[in-house]
Amino acid sequence: MISGPESRNKIVLAFRHLAFEDLGAFADVFANRDYTIEYRDMGVDQVSTDEAMAADILIILGGPISVNDVGMFPFLADECTVIAERLKAKQPTLGICLGAQLMAQALGASVYAASKPEIGLVPIILTHAGENAATRYFKTIKILHWHGETFDLPLGALRLASTDICSNQAFSLGPNIMGLQFHPEAGPDGFERWLIGHHVELMKHGIDIGVFRQAYAAAQAALAQAAKNFLNAWLDGLVTKSIDPI
């Protein structure tokens, strides 16, 4: 497990692309482990490589834009550069949805449109590696998906999970680096903000918001517990010894 000098607070630095897509169900786990959470809003806040490298944990959160939208959102280029440096050093990094796609791109893999959008509560299929990783806690539940793109498996990474639509739903690269295309962090509080904020997208794809709300409400307790179990297991497996760069 990650630890530092007693005189220094452990820092979780979260790259956030939408105000309501935050750490959600993960926040309590970090608080219970005496981490201080610091958000940086991408496209607004300046983020330096030094700041990212100094954090104990880097979490790269989701958002509705594409990693390929750099022409419209130039900050993506700088964000990807910072992420690449962090991954090169094999420092603890977790990406969620867009975050996982940014990690994949930073590792040299392609990110592109999936065969169709995947929005809703869908079970994932774990690989053998996934059943022996922190992702094992998602084996028996339907989990929240909200993406229209996917990515190739980065060189050297282990595939942990897939669905019928996206073969690469989760990957790891050693104990410290993990990308999840799905959303375990979307906790029981605040999901209505997701429905409001993504209303146009939901309507575009013919998704009944009332049905979606009801399904998530029924699943949220199990989802939140699985998210906490997952994060605790991932944190317990982190290593801080010096290792060769990627």
Q: Are 96 and 114 in contact (CB under 8 A)?
A: no
Which residues 6+ apart lie within 8 Å of 100 measured at CB? 60, 151, 170, 171, 179, 180, 181
Which residues 6+ apart lie within 8 Å of 60 measured at CB? 14, 15, 83, 93, 94, 95, 96, 98, 99, 100, 102, 103
**Is 199 known to be catalytic?**
no
**Is 79 known to be catalytic?**
no
Paired with 38 in beta bridges are 13
**Catalytic choice (21, 147, 185, 198):** 185
Q: Is 167 helix (H, G, I), strand (E, B) or coil?
A: coil
**Is 131 known to be catalytic?**
no
Distance (Å, whole) CA 25 – CA 44 = 24
**Catalytic choice (97, 118, 147, 198):** 97
- Side chain identity, residue 129: A
Distances, alpha carbon 33 to alpha carbons 30, 83, 135, in Å: 5, 24, 20
- Side chain identity, residue 96: I
Residue 8 token pair: 């220094």
**Catalytic choice (17, 145, 147, 183):** 183
Q: Which residue has the tokens 């029924």?
A: 218
Furthest-apart CA atoms within the chain: distance in Å: 53
Catalytic positions = 97, 183, 185
